[in-house]
Amino acid sequence: MTSPIEPEGWGYDKLYKEFDSPLMQKLRREAYGEDVGQHSWVTSEELQESIPWLKLSRASRLLDLGCGPGGPLTFIVGLIGCHGSGADVSAKALVAGRARVASLRLDGLVTLLEADLNEPIPFASGSFDAVVSLDAVLHLRDRLSVFREVARVLLPAGRFLFTDAGVITGSVSDEEIRSRAAHGYTQFAPPGFNERMLELAGFRVVDRNDRTASLLRTATGRLAARLSHRQELEQLEGGSYFERQQRYLETVVALSQRGALSRISYLAESRAA
């Protein structure tokens, strides 16, 4: 999801390399309850709840920005039967994503594209009925530019649903910021910031939901699952990477428990031209 210029050991590529190994599938089942190939904080229940908000039908065209290995995108397309496109900067994520698309026999419905989302979105104006971005916007450098690009590729009255797990709602130390940003560039935002950027980009904010409780459950589940498979993970990832990931998850849990950092979902609609 971030631009591939981060120091060694940062980014998500190490996670994506073994993404669909039996061990990683087991970890996702233990952490999330259901493995849909997710790589963020989203659960299958959250995805199912969100689908009606996007007003999708079989004729719809859906774009997932920061799609990673394509789990949520293929989950939605598999349920609705619409056409889906995904964009992500990580080549390793897209290798895993294309394997998932093929295994689910969705080749005719899902297309995955390598793209840096800090640059213009590589699709024509008015290409999509809906856009989603799950826990990716906090890794992008110019949120207003991104939102304007989303508005451009949407049809009038198209829907944009995204989650931001970096909304600052309390005091956070510099040490916690460094640990929380373990995967690379991370932009934390105050309450109201996303709403203002959406308005400036030409959207009407339809709904806003606090998803912090869900994030806390997921982060706690991921932490416990990794601890229960510590020996296998240390052999796969290396000891230093394992410890860094544990500190990252511990920080996410601590910040969520005391309400210092929140995960918010936003639903917006593009204004008619």
235 is a domain residue: no
Give the CATH number, domain containing residue 137: 3.40.50.150
pLDDT digits (tens, 9 = 90+) for 169-200: 999 999 999 999 988 899 999 999 999 999 99
Give the span between the Cα atoms of 227 and 1, in whole angstroms.
Answer: 26
Give the span between the Cα atoms of 273 and 270, in whole angstroms.
Answer: 9
120 is a domain residue: yes
pTM, whole model, 2 decimals? Answer: 0.92
Give the span between the Cα atoms of 88 and 116, in whole angstroms.
Answer: 7
In terms of residue numbers, what domain contains 93? 13-170+185-211+262-270
218 is a domain residue: no
207 is a domain residue: yes
51 is a domain residue: yes
Of the candidates 218, 260, 241, the residue with the CA atom closest to the CA atom of residue 11: 241
Cβ atoms within 10 Å of 142's Cβ, excluding its own: 12
244 is a domain residue: no
Q: Structurally, how many domains does the chain consist of?
A: 1
Q: Report the pLDDT value the prediction gives residue 237, as an integer from 0 to 100.
A: 87
162 is a domain residue: yes
pLDDT digits (tens, 9 = 90+) for 214-266: 999 999 999 999 999 999 999 988 999 999 999 999 999 999 999 999 999 99
Q: Report the pLDDT value the prediction gives residue 273, as an integer from 0 to 100.
A: 53
